[in-house]
Amino acid sequence: MSFSSLPTELVRQIIESSVPSTSHSTTYKERYSTLRSLCLASQLFRQIAQPLLQEVVFFTTTRRLLADMELPSTEVFYDSIRHLAAMDWDSVDDEPELTRRVIANARNLRTLVLIRARDEAFDLAGLRSLSSMHL
């Protein structure tokens, strides 16, 4: 019996259980590497692993995030992001504006982790654009 003969839901569950599910910086590389390798293994694995690969995104610099947001092809990519982490958040001039832009572009965002190098207050004004949710 081969993987291709298994139900897609079962293969997805196997793939999801083989990668870390968090967006913590120490597990991101392992998650990315595993999912990337699975994408290259077969069409079935790619069909399942590629959306998982795009759900959790970790930017090592805020400049990289800003540059990436300017690309015309990023709209569909940002729609698939569920968890986004960005290092070096305090290196930008206008944190609230950048926060608003990220939230506006990543409409399905569930977790936003902003990692700051300096230990000082963070302006939460950019979070006003978040819609209220009832859990």
DSSP state string for 55-105:
HEEEES-HHHHHHHHTSTTHHHHHHH-SEEEES-GGGSS-HHHHHHHHHHH
**Residue 72: per-residue pLDDT:** 67
Residues sharing a CB contact under 8 Å with residue 19, sequence separation 6 or more, in sequence order: 30, 31, 34, 35, 52
SS3 74: helix
Looking at residue 40, its pLDDT comes to 94
The DSSP secondary-structure symbol of 56 reads E
Distance in angstroms (rounded) separating the CA atoms of residues 123 and 126: 7
Q: In the numeric block, which tokens belong to residue 68? A: 């990436």
Q: From the CB of residue 126, how many other CB atoms can be counted at a distance below 10 Å?
A: 21
Q: Check residue 106 and give its pLDDT.
A: 81
Per residue in 39-59, is it b (16+ CB within 10 Å) or e — as a string? beeeebbeebbeebbbbbbbb
Low-confidence ranges of the chain (pLDDT < 70): 1, 21-25, 72-76, 90, 120-135
pLDDT at residue 101, as a whole number: 79
Please give the model's pTM, rounded to 2 decimal places. 0.69
What is the per-residue pLDDT for 37?
Answer: 93
- Asked if 39 and 45 touch (Cβ cutoff 8 Å), the reply is yes
